[in-house]
Amino acid sequence: MAFDFDYFCDLLLARRAELKAVMKAATGDADPVELDQSRVGRLSRMDALQGQAMAKETERRRGLELQRIASALARIEDDDFGYCVTCGEEIPLKRLELDPAVTTCIACARR
C-alpha cells in the first residue's frame, strides 16, 4: 500500500505546532509553589502543589508526544513510515489516521 506521506507529514507538523503553542501558553504552571503560610493557607498551598504536579505530568506527556512526532517525521524521511517497528508489517491506514505517530501494528500493540 502506498502512503500519502505529504498528508501524514502535514498532520504531524500541525500537531507539533499545536503542542508547542499549548506548551508556550502553559509556561509557569509548573513553577515552584510559594511556602509562605502567612500569605497562602495550608489547603490553598496543597491545591497549588497538586496543580503543579499535574502541570509537570502534562508537560512530560506533551514532551513525549513531541518525541513521537519527531520519530514519525524521521520515519517519513527514511521511507520507513507506515510499517511496524516490531514486526515490519504495514500498519493499517485507519490506525495511522487516528495517530500518525504510532509505531506498531495492532497485533504487536496487543502483546
The pLDDT tens digits for 70-111 are 999 999 999 999 999 999 999 999 999 999 999 999 999 998
Which 8-state DSSP code applies to residue 100?
T
- Span 21-27, average pLDDT: 86
The domain limits of the chain are 5-81
3-state secondary structure the chain: CCCCHHHHHHHHHHHHHHHHHHHHHCCCCCCCCCCCCCCCCHHHHHHHHHHHHHHHHHHHHHHHHHHHHHHHHHHHHCCCCCECCCCCCECCHHHHHHCCCCCCCHHHHHC
- pTM attached to this predicted model: 0.79
The yes-or-no verdict on residue 32 having pLDDT over 70 is: no
Confidence of residue 36 (pLDDT cuts 50, 70, 90): low
Query: In this predicted structure, what is the pLDDT of residue 37?
Result: 55
